[in-house]
Every structure is written in C-alpha cells, then in structure tokens.
Structure 1
Amino acid sequence: MTTVSQRTALSPRQLTRTAERISFIYLERCTVHRDANAITAQDAEGTTHIPSATIGTLLLGPGTRVTHQAMSVLAETGAAVCWVGEHGVRFYAAGRALSRSSALMEAQARQWANTRSRLAVARAMYQMRFPDEDPAGLTRHELLGREGRRVKACYRAQAARTGIPWRGRQYAPGDFTSGDPVNQAITAAAQCMYGIAHAVVTSLGCSPALGFVHSGHELSFVLDIADLYKTEIGIPLAFDIAAQDEEDVGARTRRALRDRINETSLLNRCVDDIKRLLLREEDGSFDPGSDQDVVTLQSDGGHQVPSGLNHDDDRHDYERVSW
C-alpha cells in the first residue's frame, strides 16, 4: 500500500475550482476514511465513495469518526471541514487554498489597510445586498443603521408571506433549542452559510480575518461574505422550512439550503463577488486556478525582483541561491 507521504501532492491545476464544487455534504453516524483520492463513508448500510475534490464543505455530524488519511486528502483537495453539533454548525478546520498565488490576499490587504478603501468596500457590500439604495457618502454608523432596518424589514416581510408569528430574532449562543422553530431555522441557515463562505474565502487564498464590515475576529471577512446572501437566500428559506413543519428544522434547513445553493450557482457567484470587491481598483485578471509557483522579492518603489538570486549591488551577474 502506498503511504500518504509517498503520494505526490496535487497541484491547483488538478483540483476542481470552488465554483464547480458541491456546496456541502452532511454526514453523521459513520466512519470517514480514504480510498485513493476519494473519501469513504461507512455505516451499517455499507460504504459510499465521495470524490473529495468535488466537495466544497464537509459537515461532520454527531456519531462520525474521521481518520488521519481522510483529513489528509480533504486538506490536499482544498475542502473545508466543519464539525456539526446536534443543534448547530461551527467551522473548525480548513484545507489549503486552491491557489498558490498571493495576489488576491495582497489586494485584500491593500483595500483593508487604507481607511478610505475599506469604507468603500463596505459600501459596495451594502449595495450588493440592497441594490435599490445608494450608500455613497454614508458613514459606517449610517451603514449599520440602514442594514439593521433592512434586515428587520426582511424578517417582517417573510413572516407576513409565510404566516409565521414573528417575535424578533432570538438566539442564545450554545443553546440552539432556546429559540422557536423559525429562529432555529435562521440559525442553522446562517451557520451553514458561514462554513460555505469560509471554504470559498480560504480556497481563493484570502484572509478570513481581514473584514470590511466585521472586525476583531478571526472570521471577520467570512462573516462579511456570508451576510451578502442573508436577506436574499438564508432568511426566506428559513421561514419556508419553518412554515412547512416545526419538527427537525435544523436538518431540513441544511438540506434545503444545499439544494438552493446548487440551483442558484451561489458558489460561482460568491467567487465573482469576492474578486469584484477586492479588485475594485485593479484589472481583475487574477486567476484562482493558477498553478504557477511565483515568488518574488520586494524592492524599492514598489518593484518586484526575482527570488532565488543573490541581489548584491556589487555584482553584475546575480548568483543563483540554493538553500
């Protein structure tokens, strides 16, 4: 048997792009193992093979066991992994980026580091969510106030549409059952969206921590991206599920959200939205599927010079450096 250490690592060119992957797969009460470049889910009914490179996010529910080799192939193929409790979802681990280029992360850092461009990206995010409003000139406080009003209006509108009594958003961290069924459905949808957004953000090589609306948390940018689709997809779907039946709303919301994401090609849209936000002042030519290992050194005046060379000014011929 070939060991993991003897297998050649996959290059980004060999991997399935984020936009073309299954949004997420949920497994529970099974053992997850590896067979070549696939993962297997084994339970009392048999063994199911799942191509790991087609997974965006793997949700591991109660009663699951996962082997070291399974986690290894998931990391190699850039799949995100979430451990799912009985009543919620929390992002716990991520695979490597599907790109070896730092271009998109550097663009994110440039936009984030300047207070004006950071506010401009926050305004652009608001307009993506609410295209009928013009956020130009709004302060951050004004953006937050308008966002809060729009989300409240969305809750009321969905409650009226579905006929569900609405008494406000209620969620106690760590106590999923404290809310009524519709609040449980909203929480389940939000947590799944956080896992999916984290998978997309990390697969593109971006920093999950450098947020433009959220701040101070390791997942600030993930929360920013997940919120782009809250009022359009997450909240309406949660009300639909709660209106159908009050039983098992968490699992039913996850399944319905997975179907809706596939129907709307949300992963593809999410990739495009991130690039549009971060490459606002650039040519937008970043290729997340690039398999080139391009490492340069920073010189003066913003210039980049080749790495792997000795840049001694006293030498006319650069000496190749070998470590």
Structure 2
Amino acid sequence: MKMISPVVTTRPRMIRTLNHLCFRGFQTSAAGRHQVERLGVIGAGQMGFGIAYVAAMRARVPVLLIDNSAESLAKAGKFLKKLSEKDVAKGKMTGEQAEELRGMIEMTDEFSRVGQCDFVIEAVPEIASLKQQIFAELAMSTAADATLATNTSSISITKIAAAAKGREDRVVATHFMNPVPVQRGVEIIRGLQTSDATVERAEALVKAMGKLASVSEDRAGFLANRVLIPYINEAILCLENGTGTRDGIDSIMVNGCAMPMGPLALADFIGLDTCLSIMNVLFEETQDSKYRASALLRRMVEAGWLGKKTGRGFYDYSS
C-alpha cells in the first residue's frame, strides 16, 4: 500500500513566517550590534545554508560558506538564487536587494580562507571525530580572538573544545533549529572551558539574526533534543510494538495534544539518521535504558530510509 503524506499542519504557517522574515530582513539593519565583521560557515548543507542565509539577510553580515564538496556548493548556490528570485516575484524584496543578498554570501571549497573570519559556525554531520578534526584546524587557522561555534545537536561541547588547543575558551555551541529561516529558537551551550565573553558574543549574533537564545550547560542532548528525540523514539516504539498505527500515532499527537506535526512525520523531516545519532549519544553518555534507540529506527537507517531527504521514511515522499 502506498504511503500517504504525513499529518502536518505547519506548512502554511511556516511559509507565512518565512515570507515575513524575508520582508523584515531588508527593513532594518542589525549591523554593528553583533560586532562580527565576517562570518564563516563550514558545511553547505541544509543547516549550513540556512545559517548563512539568515545571517546575511537579518544580521547583515558578510558570509563565507565553506564546503569541500563542489556539488553541495553548487546546490547551495542554486537554492540561494531560487529563493531570492522567488521573494522578488512575491514583492518581498527588490531585485537590487536580492542581488545585494546574494553578493553577501560567498562560497568556496578552500578551508584555509576561514582565517578571514572572526566568527565561525561549523555545521557538518554529527560525527564527533570530524568535528574535533575541524576544530583542531580552526584553532590553528583563525585569529586568536575569533569565536569558534558548533551547530552540534548532541555532541559534548567540552569534548569538541578540547580539540581546539589553546583556544578552548573561544568554543561554544550555537544549535540552530531546522529550518533555520523559520524556527526562532537557538540553543547556546557552553562547554566546561567556554568563557562568559564567548557566550555573550554568540548571543549577540543570534539575536541580530532575529533568534531567541536559550542558554544551557553541556549535558547529553542539551535542552531541545533531550526532550524531543526520546519523544520521537517512544512514538517509533509504539509503532514497532503495535500499540498504534503510523497515522493513529501522528493523528492523536496533532489533534489530541496540539502538536503542530506528528512525531513520525517530524522524524522524517529531521532525518532518521540524525534521530538515531542523537539517541546513541544520549544512551552512551547516560547509560540509561530509556534512551536506547528503537530497533525499527535502526533498521530503517540501515535500509537507507532516512525520511524526506531520501524520499522515504515513515512516509513516502516520492511523488
């Protein structure tokens, strides 16, 4: 039987919010409030591009978007052009403003150019060893007063900071929510080594981007994912053990608990591989069985059914 579209009521609201943000982005300027001269974003995927776009549009800061994949950079460039042209067609910005916005985001595959940036946000996949390698290189490639931020959603900031030898106090987490242009909340997480000045600088930048910051300590899953991902995992367990059907689970949470999106549809949107990665971190760091990932979640990731980004997860997105 062909899987149908997920239970979700957020799309019209998300589109209205995105359009509103795009319009406001050129009404006022946040220049000077954050004291960031150039932002570097490492990783041109969905999160990295979203961070770069909002930083340029709202905080009015020039962005250097860095990725070692020519394909990822090409996709980001096409999406930037498409999104800005769509906003022009809708009257959300003028052609000149769209051209200005595109000119503020430069894309490159040369990591060495990160030294030109005084604030860097890493937005690569949730692989601890990869992030540690990047931060070790950032510590050697950027100015001594540059802020080094990670967009990690679950990995210990203290562990990441330890790789940035001599710069540990300048490392902080700025965990943006997906999709970045729509979701207003950002978690600011300090590691054991993070200075107050680093946290304050991160808060100033995300505020200039139109975001609301919530500061948390470095604990497994932080705030959002400590609550959200186990909730999703429990929904998957209910499907796995036959407590309810996919549609029944999502429907009751939307129509009975006032959630904007069902947990299984949300898992597809986040990416099942990301959900599994976060559950693994929670379990490994706490050794609490309540954070053990569902067997069904593991099997779906093994099958390559990762959700919306692959065309199939709990729902079918092929059409």
Task: Indicate the TM-score class for this superposition, using the shorter chain for normalisation.
Answer: under 0.3
User: Larger Cα Rg: Structure 1 or Structure 2?
Assistant: 1
Which structure is higher in strand share? Answer: 1
State TM-score, norm by structure 1. 0.22
State TM-score, norm by structure 2. 0.22
Which structure is higher in helix share? Answer: 2
